[in-house]
C-alpha cells in the first residue's frame, strides 16, 4: 500500500515536472523569437493572440498535422528513432533537478520538489546528456543526405570536445561542495550570494562558470556554436530531411536541453533555489513558492543570456571552434581544477 502511494506520488511528480518543462519549452521558442526580434528592431510574432502569445500553440498544431516525410534512401528505423533518442535524454535529465528543498508531508506521504535525489545526480545528468549526441549523429547519418551527414559529424566532434570542458568545469564546484548530489550541492551554497560557488571564498568559481556557460552553449548547438545546424552552410544540418513531428522533437530537444543546462548552471554555480540575500528568503505564503521563484528567476536570466548571445554573435568557423575548445577551454578548466584543489587543500589544512 505504501509502495503504491509512493509510486503514484512519484508519477504525479514526473507528470508535473514534464508539464512545467514542456510549457517552458513551448514558450521559450516564443520568447526567443520575440527577444531576437526586439534586438533587431522588429516586433517578432504578433498575429496569433495578443502580441502573438498563442504562437507556440499554433506552431505545435501546424507541426502535428504536417506530412511525415521519410526520404527514400533513409534508414527508416534509425531515422524515426533518432529524434526520440535526442528528446528523451533532454527530458529525463530533469529527474534530478531540484526545484526547491525538502517538501511537505501530507498524511505521511512526503512530497518533495524534485523527482529524486540520487547521490550521483550530476554524474547522471552528464551521462544522460551525452546520449543526446547520438540522436543527432544517427539522425544525420540515417537521413542519407550530405548536409545531414556533415551536420551530424560536426555535432559529434563539437559535443565531444565541449563535453570535456563542461565536465571539467564542474569539478571545482564538486570539490567545494564535497558531493555529487544536486540537493547537497545546492545546500552547500545557502546564505546569500557570497556563498554561491561562483563567488564562494576561498576558491570562487567564476572562471569555471564562464567555461561552463560557453560549453553549455556549444553543447546545446546554439549560436555562436550552431555548426551542426548552420543554416547558411548546411541548410539545416542534421535536421535537413526532418519534417512534422520528428522535426518538432529535435526542436523541443534543443530547447529542453537549454533549460536543463541552465538549471544545472543555477544549481551548481548560482545557489539553486536560494535567494541572493538571506533577508529575501520569504516564507509567506509558502517557502516552496519562493524557492521555485528564485530558481526559475535565475534560470530565466541564463536563458535570456543564451538568446542575448544569439542575437549578438555571428557563427564561429569550424576550426576556430575546435581550437577554442581544445586549446583554451580545456587547459583553463584543468588549471581551474588545479588551483581550486590546491587552495582548498591549503585552507582546510
Instruction: Please give the residue ranges that form the binding site for other proteins (CB under 8 A).
Output: 35, 38-43, 46, 308-309, 311-313
Between CA 348 and CA 343 the distance in angstroms is: 8
DSSP letters spanning 117-144: --TTHHHHHHHHHHHHHHHHHHHHHHTT
CB of 149 to other proteins, least distance (A): 32
CB of 110 to other proteins, least distance (A): 43
| Nearer residue to other proteins within complex by CB, 134 or 308 | 308
| Nearer residue to other proteins within complex by CB, 34 or 246 | 34
Between CA 170 and CA 155 the distance in angstroms is: 22
| Nearer residue to other proteins within complex by CB, 39 or 54 | 39
| Nearer residue to other proteins within complex by CB, 40 or 342 | 40
CB of 310 to other proteins, least distance (A): 9
- CA angle at residue 27 from 223 to 254, to 5 degrees? 40
CB of 38 to other proteins, least distance (A): 5
Between CA 162 and CA 219 the distance in angstroms is: 7
| Nearer residue to other proteins within complex by CB, 42 or 146 | 42
Give Cβ neighbours of residue 142 (< 8 Å, ≥ 6 apart).
Answer: 74, 75, 78, 79, 82
The x, y and z cell numbers of residue 23, run together, are 510549457
CB of 34 to other proteins, least distance (A): 10
Between CA 185 and CA 197 the distance in angstroms is: 9
| Nearer residue to other proteins within complex by CB, 313 or 347 | 313
CA distances from 21 to 17, 28, 247 (A): 6, 10, 18
CB of 313 to other proteins, least distance (A): 7
| Nearer residue to other proteins within complex by CB, 5 or 43 | 43
CB of 322 to other proteins, least distance (A): 18
| Nearer residue to other proteins within complex by CB, 180 or 213 | 213
Give Cβ neighbours of residue 255 (< 8 Å, ≥ 6 apart).
Answer: 24, 25, 28, 29
CB of 252 to other proteins, least distance (A): 26
Classify 42 as helix, strand or coil. coil
Amino acid at each position: 500500500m505504501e509502495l503504491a502511494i509512493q509510486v503514484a506520488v512519484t508519477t504525479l511528480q514526473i507528470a508535473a515536472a514534464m508539464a512545467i518543462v514542456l510549457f517552458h519549452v513551448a514558450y521559450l521558442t516564443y520568447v526567443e523569437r520575440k527577444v531576437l526580434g526586439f534586438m533587431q528592431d522588429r516586433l517578432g510574432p504578433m498575429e496569433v493572440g495578443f502580441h502573438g502569445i498563442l504562437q507556440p500553440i499554433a506552431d505545435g498544431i501546424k507541426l502535428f498535422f504536417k506530412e511525415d516525410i521519410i526520404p527514400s534512401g533513409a534508414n527508416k528505423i534509425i531515422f524515426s528513432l533518432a529524434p526520440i533518442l535526442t528528446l528523451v535524454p533532454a527530458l529525463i535529465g530533469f529527474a534530478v533537478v531540484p526545484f526547491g528543498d525538502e517538501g511537505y508531508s501530507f498524511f505521511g506521504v512526503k512530497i518533495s520538489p524534485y523527482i529524486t535525489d540520487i547521490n550521483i545526480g550530476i554524474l547522471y545528468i552528464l551521462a544522460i546528456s551525452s546520449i543526446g549526441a547520438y540522436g543527432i549523429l544517427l539522425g544525420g547519418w540515417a537521413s542519407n543526405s550530405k548536409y545531414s551527414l556533415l551536420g551530424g559529424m560536426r555535432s559529434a566532434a563539437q559535443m565531444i570536445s565541449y563535453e570535456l570542458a563542461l565536465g571539467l568545469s564542474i569539478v571545482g564546484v564538486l570539490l567545494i561542495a564535497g558531493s555529487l548530489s544536486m540537493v547537497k550541492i545546492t545546500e552547500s551554497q545557502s546564505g546569500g550570494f557570497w556563498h554561491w560557488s561562483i563567488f564562494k571564498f576561498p576558491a570562487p568559481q567564476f572562471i569555471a562558470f564562464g567555461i561552463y556557460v560557453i560549453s553549455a552553449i556549444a553543447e546545446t548547438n546554439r549560436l555562436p556554436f550552431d555548426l551542426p545546424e548552420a543554416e547558411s552552410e548546411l541548410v539545416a544540418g542534421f535536421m535537413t530531411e526532418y519534417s512534422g513531428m520528428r522535426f518538432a522533437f529535435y526542436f523541443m530537444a534543443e530547447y529542453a536541453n537549454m533549460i536543463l543546462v541552465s538549471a544545472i548552471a543555477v544549481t551548481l554555480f548560482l545557489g539553486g533555489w536560494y535567494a541572493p540575500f538571506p533577508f529575501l528568503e520569504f516564507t509567506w505564503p509558502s517557502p516552496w513558492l519562493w524557492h521555485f521563484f528564485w530558481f526559475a528567476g535565475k534560470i530565466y536570466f541564463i536563458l535570456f543570456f543564451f538568446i542575448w548571445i544569439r542575437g549578438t554573435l555571428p557563427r564561429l568557423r569550424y576550426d576556430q571552434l575546435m581550437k577554442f575548445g581544445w586549446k583554451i577551454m580545456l587547459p583553463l578548466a584543468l588549471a581551474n581544477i588545479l588551483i581550486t584543489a590546491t587552495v582548498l587543500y591549503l585552507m582546510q589544512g
